[in-house]
């Protein structure tokens, strides 16, 4: 049987750090209010000239080096993001060209905060079908450029960054199960009101920023993330007690705590980066995975569950052996 194995990881964070104390000077909020309600203490924010593809390239270079491969080995590129450089061409084509990867499928995937999970699941299917031998999968966001920095309900949450993985076929267990889902009936609870075919003239004005009904998003997110975890475990025939690590979307500490509780997992088995990175949307899961690998907590052979939930609503999970 062919598995899809993660053989390298990498992450990139912009140099500028915005702390809660910095935000106290910008909006009516406090460090205590932000920490107790979200868990966020600081977040990284791109410079004005930086783009999503800039961060993708830097994270990818680290993952490629970690995997011990050459760019010429890569035959598929997938980038999950809600903040691409351009409407077209898609961000994956920009990354492919800038890294010098030979002509190959380059796919941009947009599923809000679940975009990386969607992209990794897609790469898994291509590899298991024999259509790809080495895929670069990235989750990245310049989400700060979509935020209204006068709206204290949303601006305290988000940060920028990119996380990348290299996946290859393996006879040893890697990705053992995936699960994706979406339900558009919730679209008005979390969305960005401007797009290519709708009110594009409002982009960059005070009429265009992330819109979120926080309490309702929280309720659906907790229920859905618990379900998506149990469903992927059931699909693999694995009991939750066998999990070594949960690598969740770093949206909010309360959502993460509630999800861990539903799985009867102690927080000691959860990779947490929300305090340092904030909610980096599609970048949060791959960056948290990289943090866990590089600090020695996530070890080869361990069972890891990655999951995410985003606007749409979209959701997904990947269960794998490292």
Q: Which of 221, 89, 79, 73 has its CA nearest to residue 164?
A: 79
Two tokens at 62? Answer: 């680290």
Q: How many CB atoms lie within 10 A of CB 300?
A: 8
Q: CB within 8 A of 83, min separation 6: which ones?
A: 52, 140, 141, 142, 143, 145, 146, 281
Strand partners, 166: 8, 136
Of the candidates 91, 113, 142, 155, the residue annotated as catalytic is 113
Helix axes 214-236, 253-262, angle to 10 degrees: 40
Is 201 part of the annotated catalytic residue set?
no
Backbone dihedral region of 312: left (phi > 0), alpha (psi from -120 to 50 degrees) or beta? left
Is 249 part of the annotated catalytic residue set?
yes
The DSSP string of 103-172 is S--EEEE-BTBTHHHHHHHHHHHHHHTTS-SSEEEEEEE-GGGGS-TT-HHHHTTB--EEEEEEEEEESS
Distance CA 299, CA 297 (A): 6
Instruction: Looking at 43-82, list the stretches that DSSP marks H as alpha helix, in order from N- to C-terminal side.
Output: 52-67
Is 279 part of the annotated catalytic residue set?
yes
Of the candidates 134, 249, 252, 277, the residue annotated as catalytic is 249
Strand partners, 179: 317
Contact by Cβ (8 Å): 142, 51? yes
- C-alpha dist (Å) from residue 109 to 10, 84, 112, 138, 298: 19, 10, 9, 10, 27
HSE-up of residue 143 (Cα within 13 Å, Cβ side):
33
Strand partners, 137: 78, 165
Looking at the annotation, which residues are catalytic? 113, 249, 279
């Amino acid at each position: 049987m062919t598995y899809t194995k993660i053989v390298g990881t990498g992450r990139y964070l912009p140099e500028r750090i915005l702390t809660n104390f910095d935000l106290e000077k910008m909006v009516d909020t406090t460090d205590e209010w932000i920490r107790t309600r979200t868990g966020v203490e600081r977040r990284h924010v791109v410079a004005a000239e930086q783009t999503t593809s800039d961060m993708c390239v830097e994270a990818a270079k680290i993952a490629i080096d970690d995997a011990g491969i050459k760019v010429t080995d890569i035959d598929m590129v997938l980038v999950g993001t809600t903040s691409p450089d351009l409407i077209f061409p898609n961000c994956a084509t920009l990354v492919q060209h800038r890294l010098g990867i030979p002509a190959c499928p380059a796919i941009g995937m947009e599923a809000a905060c679940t975009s990386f999970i969607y992209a990794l699941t897609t790469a898994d299917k291509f590899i298991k079908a024999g259509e790809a031998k080495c895929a670069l999968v990235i989750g990245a966001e310049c989400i700060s450029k979509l935020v209204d920095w006068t709206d204290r309900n949303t601006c305290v949450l988000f940060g920028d960054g990119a996380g990348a993985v290299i996946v290859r076929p393996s006879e040893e267990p890697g990705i053992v199960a995936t699960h994706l889902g979406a339900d558009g009936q919730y679209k008005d609870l979390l969305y960005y009101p401007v797009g290519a075919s709708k009110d594009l003239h409002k982009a960059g004005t005070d009429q265009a920023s992330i819109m979120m009904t926080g309490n309702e998003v929280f309720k659906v997110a907790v229920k859905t993330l618990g379900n998506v975890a149990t469903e992927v475990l059931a699909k693999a025939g694995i009991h939750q007690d066998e999990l070594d690590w949960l690598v969740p979307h770093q949206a909010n500490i309360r959502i993460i705590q509630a999800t861990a509780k539903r799985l009867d997992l102690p927080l000691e088995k959860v990779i947490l980066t929300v305090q340092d990175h904030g909610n980096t949307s599609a970048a949060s899961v791959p960056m948290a995975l990289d943090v866990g690998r590089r600090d020695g907590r996530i070890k080869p052979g361990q069972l890891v569950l990655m999951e995410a939930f985003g606007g749409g609503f979209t959701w997904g999970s990947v269960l794998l052996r490292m």
